[in-house]
Structure 1
Amino acid sequence: MKLLFQIFGVMLMLSGGLWALQGLGIVMWPAESFMLAERSWALYGTITFLIGAALFWFGSRRKR
């Protein structure tokens, strides 16, 4: 279970980071994405990243 929390946390951090960077207009890939330069996606990405970081932290702190 510990490993599952860590893996899911990393996946959320990676996707949230991409969403935030796309929303800020820093990453303009893929070109047809609806998230590009949309500030709301920067917020959604940041929230997703923080949830992922919390899951990763929780998974690394759990005892066996």
Structure 2
Amino acid sequence: MNFVLIVVGGLLTLSGVIWTLQGVGILPGSAMSGVTLWAIVGPIVAVVGVALLSWGIVRKRRARP
């Protein structure tokens, strides 16, 4: 379960950062580039990803004897 939280959290964080960069126009070449929606959704997804990643790491550390 902890491994899944860490992997999903990492993927969501990475996706959120990429969406944010595309939304603000830093990463061009996509239909998402320069679209304000992705500049708003990206950080939200990234924060959720960081929260899941942190939760998975904390649970993993607590499980160790």
Alignment TM-score, normalising by the size of structure 2 = 0.87
| Higher share in helix | 2
Aligned counterpart for 2:52 among listed residues 47, 50, 55: 55
**Structure of higher CA gyration radius:** 2
Deviating 4+ runs (over 2 angstroms): none
- Work out the number of aligned pairs and report it: 61
- Cα deviation, 1:15-38, whole Å, max 9, x if unaligned, reads 11100000000001xx2x321101
- Sequence identity, in percent? 38
Q: Pairwise CA RMSD of aligned residues?
A: 0.9
Give 1:3's aligned residue.
Answer: 3
Alignment TM-score, normalising by the size of structure 1 = 0.88
Q: List runs of 5+ in structure 2 lacking aligned partners.
A: none
Q: List runs of 5+ in structure 1 lacking aligned partners.
A: none
